[in-house]
Homo-oligomer: A and B are copies of this chain.
Amino acid sequence: MTDTPLVPLVEYAQAGPQVRAVYDDIMRTRGTDWINNFWKVLAHDPALLERTWQSVRAVMAPGALDPLVKEMIYVAVSATNGCAYCTYSHTAAARAKGMTDAQLMELMAVVGMANETNRLANGLRPPVDAAFVPEG
Contacts and interface: CB of A to CB of B under 8 A. Distances in A.
Chief secondary structure at chain A's binding surface: helix
B128 A85 contact: yes
Contact of A125 (B5, B59, B63, B119): B5
Contacts of A125: 3-6, 41, 84-85, 87-88
Contact of A78 (B36, B91, B112, B114): B114
A19 B55 CA distance: 18
Contact of A83 (B73, B75, B82, B107): B82
A10 to B, nearest CB: 11
17 contacts: A3-B128, A8-B134, A36-B126, A38-B117, A45-B106, A51-B54, A51-B58, A59-B106, A60-B113, A64-B103, A65-B103, A70-B106, A76-B76, A78-B118, A79-B123, A86-B117, A88-B132
A45 B109 contact: yes
